[in-house]
Amino acid sequence: MSYVWTTALTINYLAALGVVVSVLRRRKEPGSMVAWVFAAMLFPFLGPLAYWLFSADRVVWSARRRRRRVARIVHLIRERVERHTGVHRSDDALPADLRNIERMARHLARFPATPGNDVRVYDEANETYAAIEEALRTAQRHIHLEYYIWNADDTGRQFRDLLIEKARQGVEVRLLLDSVGCFGLSRRFLAPLRAAGAEVAWFMPLRPTSRRWSLHLRNHRKIVVVDGAVAFTGSQNIGDEYRGRLARLSPWYDTHLRVSGPAALFLQEVFVEDWYFATRRELSDDAYFPAPTEQGSSWVQILPTGPDQPVNTLEQVVFATAAAATHTLRIATPYFVPHAALRTALTHACYRGVEVDIVVPTRTDAPLALWAGRSFYEEIVSAGAGVYEFDHGVLHSKTFTIDDRWCMIGSANMDARSFRLNFEISALIYDEQVARGLSDSIQIHCARSRRITLDGLRSTSLPQKLLEGGARLFSPLV
């Protein structure tokens, strides 16, 4: 027995030493380095195993592999998109400060802002689903959907059956699902869809025997594109819980976007790239990229982000917009675990006299993220920011506004996972009316929430402080 224990301990120490060497060799963010070393030393076997499953090295391998695989399809479709959207059209119509944000986002993520879009924002699940269903029913040529979570419940079956109906009518239907988010979705559930002629693919299937797979590298995007003309994106997945049908998760609040006009083609391009990565099947024909017509007056810029990009695009854009705010900065997010750069941007905005409001939910499926986020409250509240905890349901919206002139709606949370690990999608909207409406919505949530005060933070019990401090150690990983 002693021999077995000695062997096991030796293996554990060697594995932990391997983690330390790997972490030091990477020379990444100090916080992340310390967290991984701490995990490897504190949790025998589990720490090294977690590093092997979730480490950034594995993420980088997979991300670089993805970039190489989609490079060819990107070149094939870029000319078509640019020709149809007037990508070289002058952005001088935007104010100077917003023009700088647009140019930076374009440089980092390749996509420009385009005018002529009709934008509709939904913050009620049934309205969102009704709008998506209406668009799907009007499809004549193709339907493309990409989701992180699609549940096998009444809502999931409702949309599956509608896709079956459209596929039988001769409409091309393609559904791309994340293999972790949809882990419980059975082949039996999807079989009728495939039998009707629809194509279903999985993003990064879980294959531990493969040298380059990643449990961490997930597709968190929510995209629907109909005939290349109408598109949806935002924070809402497909399932009963997202429309408040589960008592413990009711009511549920999401924010979703419908866009028609030139910007829809850029959401189409994101889907086509992801589809090619998952299937190696090209969708570069002109039929998928029809010439758009002006549908409205909104400037919209699609921002795809992920670990395959050479720089942290989402972090750069959020930092720049926070730094550009002059009057108001409002954030609604289900997970608020701000890294150092974001905390600096928020506190500096407060020092400049900007009214900063952040609202997060207390009902969450990730308590570690909630506890870690609370450990950062005092720094931000001390600077003058308003931090609110919403306890009247699940607030799952991921929205960001500055000065009632610019806003961002998408799938990204304010945490390390969305900033550095997930493939996310956001829409940057340069429209005062839309931004003002979104800002008002965030303020309504704030008014129904409990405001965090310095006195309350300083009277937190010692066990709670220890819990939050312990969670903070792992904030680079959550």
Kindly indicate the confidence band of residue 16, based on its pLDDT and cuts at 50, 70 and 90.
low
CB 120 within 8 A of CB 258: yes
For all residues of the chain together, what is the average pLDDT? Answer: 86
Q: Which of helix, strand or coil describes residue 300?
A: strand
3-state SS assignment for residue 426: strand
Give the Å distances, CA to CA, from 180 to 94, 119, 185, 241, 306: 40, 31, 10, 18, 16
Q: How many whole angstroms separate alpha carbon 248 and alpha carbon 468?
A: 24
- d(C-alpha 452, C-alpha 449), whole Å: 9
* CATH tag, 69-95+112-300: 3.30.870.10
Q: Could you give the 3-state DSSP secondary structure of residue 454?
A: helix
pLDDT above 90 coverage of the chain, percent: 58
pLDDT surpasses 70 at 442: yes
Element (H, E) at 407: strand 406-410
Q: Which of 403, 404, 415, 431 is catalytic?
A: 403
- Average pLDDT (87-100) is 74
Tell me whether residue 274 is one of the annotated catalytic residues. Answer: no
Report residue 136 as tokens. 């799907």
Rounded to an integer, the average pLDDT of 167-176 is 98
The verdict on whether 398 is a catalytic residue reads yes
Indicate the pLDDT class of residue 277, thresholds 50, 70 and 90. confident
Integer Cα distance of 159 and 140 in angstroms:
17
pLDDT given for residue 12 in this prediction: 65
Residue 56: phi and psi, rounded to 5, are: -65, -30
**Distance of alpha carbon 430 from alpha carbon 102, whole angstroms:** 9
Position 81 pLDDT exceeds 50 = yes
Which of these is catalytic: 216, 222, 339, 445? 222
- Domain definitions of the chain by residue range: 2-54, 69-95+112-300, 313-473
The pLDDT of residue 401 is above 60: yes
Q: Are 77 and 71 in contact (CB under 8 A)?
A: no
Element (H, E) at 54: helix 46-54
Q: Which of 89-93, 214-218, 281-285 has the lowest mean pLDDT?
A: 89-93
Q: What percent of the chain has pLDDT over 70?
A: 80
Q: Which residue has the higher pLDDT, 151 or 110?
A: 151
Is 403 part of the annotated catalytic residue set?
yes
The HSE-up count of residue 49 (CA atoms within 13 Å, CB side) is: 7
Annotated active-site residue 339? The verdict is no
pLDDT tens string 126-136: 999 999 999 99
pLDDT surpasses 60 at 344: yes
Q: Count of CB atoms within 10 A of residue 321's CB?
A: 24
CB contact at 8 A, 267 and 225: yes
Q: Are domains 69-95+112-300 and 313-473 of this chain identical in fold?
A: yes
Pairing of strands 399-402, 328-332: antiparallel
pLDDT one-digit tens code per residue, 309-338: 878 899 999 999 999 999 999 999 999 999
Give the pLDDT score at 367: 83
Catalytic choice (166, 220, 256, 445) = 220
The answer to whether residues 298 and 119 touch, using CB atoms and an 8 Å cutoff, is yes
Q: 465 catalytic, yes or no?
A: no
Handedness of CA 362, 364, 368, 369 (dihedral sign): negative
pLDDT above 60: residue 238: yes
Choice among 396, 404, 415, 445 that is catalytic: 396
Q: Of 3.10.350.10, 3.40.50.300, 3.30.450.40, 3.30.870.10, which CATH number belongs to 313-473? A: 3.30.870.10
Query: pLDDT by residue (tens digit) across 353-395?
Result: 999 999 999 988 788 888 999 999 999 999 999 999 999 889 9
Q: What is the pLDDT of residue 95?
A: 85
- Determine the pLDDT at residue 181: 92
Query: Which one of 227, 274, 308, 431 is the catalytic residue?
Result: 227
Q: What is the dihedral of CA 381, 387, 391, 392, to 10 degrees?
A: 150
pLDDT grade for 210, boundaries at 50, 70 and 90: low
pLDDT digits (tens, 9 = 90+) for 286-316: 889 888 888 999 999 999 998 888 788 999 9
Average pLDDT over residues 407-411: 97
Kindly tell me if the per-residue pLDDT of 15 is higher than 80. no
Ranking 58-72, 180-194, 350-364, 416-430 by mean pLDDT, the lowest is 58-72
